Amino acid sequence: MQLDHLLAARADLWRGRVTPQAAAMGLPTGFAALDDALCGHGWPRAGLSEVLTGHQGAGLALLLPLLVALGHGARWLLWVDPPHLPFAPALAARGLDLGRLLIVRGGADAAWAAEQGLRSGTCAAVLAWTDPTARPVDGRAQRRTPCWTPAALRRLQLAAADTDTPMLLLRPPAAAGETSPAALRLKVSARAEGLDVALLKQRGGRPGQRLWLPATPDNASSPAASGAGRGGVLGAAPGRRARRRRTLSRS
């Protein structure tokens, strides 16, 4: 068999601008224009995806249609170190099943906690925040940056691939200058009535594209799924509690 045929049969090999014939179908993003631009027509279903943003509402708005779709199954949606206490009524209004949402404060062990979630086999997706300037949910300062090393990111990529689970990482825009093993890297910012998305890297596809996405996902079938781009799902008023919250630590 020729080398080209062997390479084409491996969807996990990145061949620059050449799209593998055996590329696995991704998970729909909820935005038709973004699906068309992505290799696999959606989020990688078994790998690490990075969303770089300085606006937490915009980053979560981009991910929310996927989280809503995955949250209707029997497995958990694990959130590691959200920068603010999620506002449960807003999330529920957008269609997220709060009964399947699990929040973990990982601190310096956040990358380890995310990996355990992936390898547990009980999570439909794992979402983590790495911004060291963000305020922790309990208002106390925590060490975050040291745990998100290149080696830790590589472990997350491998764990996501091994368990066929999407790993979603929200990082500050400055991370664009760092190398990453992620299969997909996007940069998103909020714009009037929508989101401005730049494709920084996609394994097996064409990077460098820039898209404008509407605030309302294309697959929104009810008012509960609309308005994701207007924020409000993070940064609850003091005193509100998440539906579920756990703390993991190394034993």
Instruction: Tell me the mean pLDDT in the region 175-195.
Output: 92
Q: What are phi and psi of 18, to 5 degrees?
A: -90, 125
CA distance 186 to 44: 12
The pLDDT tens digits of the residues spanning 131-162 come to 755 544 455 544 445 689 999 999 999 999 99
Q: Is the pLDDT assigned to residue 49 strictly greater than 50? A: yes
CA distance 217 to 228: 8
Residue spans of beta strands (DSSP E) within 113-228: 123-129, 167-171, 184-191, 194-202, 210-214
Question: CB–CB of 229/195 below 8 Å?
Answer: yes
Q: Is the pLDDT assigned to residue 249 strictly greater than 70? A: no
Q: Is the pLDDT assigned to residue 42 strictly greater than 90? A: yes
Kindly indicate the confidence band of residue 14, based on its pLDDT and cuts at 50, 70 and 90.
low
Torsion of CA 115, 92, 62, 43, to 10 degrees: 50
Instruction: Tell me the mean pLDDT in the region 195-223.
Output: 79
| Maximum average pLDDT range among 9-18, 108-117, 220-229 | 108-117
Which tops the pLDDT comparison, 207 or 105?
105
Helices 110-120 & 150-163 angle (0-180, nearest 10): 10
Q: Is the pLDDT assigned to residue 3 strictly greater than 70? A: no
CA distance 154 to 160: 10
Q: What is the mean pLDDT of the chain?
A: 80
pLDDT at 150: 93
Closest CA to 101 of 84, 121, 77: 77
Instruction: Tell me the mean pLDDT in the region 228-247.
Output: 44
Question: CB–CB of 169/51 below 8 Å?
Answer: yes
Question: Can you give the pTM of this predicted structure?
Answer: 0.78
What is the residue whose two structure tokens read 């958990």?
76
Considering only the C-alpha atoms of the chain, give the largest distance between any 2 of them, rounded to a whole number of Å.
64
Kindly indicate the confidence band of residue 23, based on its pLDDT and cuts at 50, 70 and 90.
low
| Domains of the chain, CATH where assigned | 42-246 (3.40.50.300)
pLDDT at 1: 53
pLDDT at 203: 82
Q: Is the dihedral of CA 70, 71, 73, 76 positive or negative?
A: positive
SS3 at position 43: strand
Which tops the pLDDT comparison, 37 or 137?
37
pLDDT at 152: 95
